[in-house]
Amino acid sequence: MSVKIPFTKMHGLGNDFVMLSGPDVAGLDLHPDRQKETLEKLAAFLCDRHFGVGADGLILPVPPSDPTRFDVRFVYLNSDGTWAEMCGNGIRCFALFVRDLGLINRDAFTVETLAGPISPKINVDRSVTVDMGPPVLEPAQIPFVAPGAQFPVQRLALDVLGQSVPVTPVSMGNPHCLVFQDELPQKLDPAVYGPALEKHAAFPAKTNVEFIETLSRNHLKVTVWERGCGFTLACGTGACATAVGAIMLGKADQDVQVALPGGALRIEWDGNPRSSVLMSGPATYAFKGEIELPVELLPKVPA
């Protein structure tokens, strides 16, 4: 026995997602509060690029825990089935997705995420600007645990594969480790140091890793190693964290283009730790389809 479900494929600068909605999975109970394990297995299956649809993550909207505070709840799982607090490219796709579905009838609204409230706004050209909230710079909240870690942590040297690597940790609801390549005697290989930093003991919740080149005061180039995914073409929270780190360190102005392999995002931040970070960029539909779910992936619906 098997069940076929419709899906939508979207991407933000090549950072791609399988999107499911309530109508898509009518009859299946996929609420994360009741079917956590099912969603984890489903994400790993759907995101597999050989046997599934193929994506960096699975996204679905569910009713918010408090409708007086939030319009909709954002649920995101990485391609390996692990949960993530937030995804910058994903939240832009999510905003356009729920607006086009008619789940939300306004262009600006409030989304509940594991990282707290996020406020996207759909622009006239269908790009999306997201108020990502203030950056998290307190080490314990990132979380980042290392000798000498004091607010804000800047250029703290970690021993990584026998090399001293200066890192600047920032959270945008999920942890990021910023490595500025110009602060090293020679550039690090992201394929080697990305996974090593992701699982470094200083990051108890693991971390995303950004390898950054400063091209000018308003132009940064980034290679992203994403926690639970590996290399991705873009990472919205990573672009925000990159801009925050560069502005804090005096490397960039307060309005900066962050170039990722899949394209560029505009990030604005005034340098005040209490101020929100604004991210603007595209959200793109790729295709729609239908996929058959193996019986072992079907959720157990309460009688």
Active-site positions read 87, 235
Residue-wise burial string across 270-285, b where 16 or more C-beta atoms lie within 10 A, e elsewhere: eeeeeebbbbebbbbe
Alpha-carbon distance 75 to 61, whole Å? 6
Does residue 287 sit in helix, strand or coil?
A: strand
Count of other CB atoms within 10 angstroms of residue 160: 18
Q: How far apart are the first and last CA of the chain?
A: 19
DSSP 184: S
Contacts of 41 (CB under 8 A, 6+ apart): 81, 296, 297
Residue 259: strand pairing partners? 221, 264
Whether residue 172 contacts residue 135, with contact meaning beta carbons closer than 8 Å, is answered with yes
**What radius of gyration do the chain's Cα atoms show?**
19
Q: Give phi and psi for 63, each to the nearest 5.
A: -60, 145
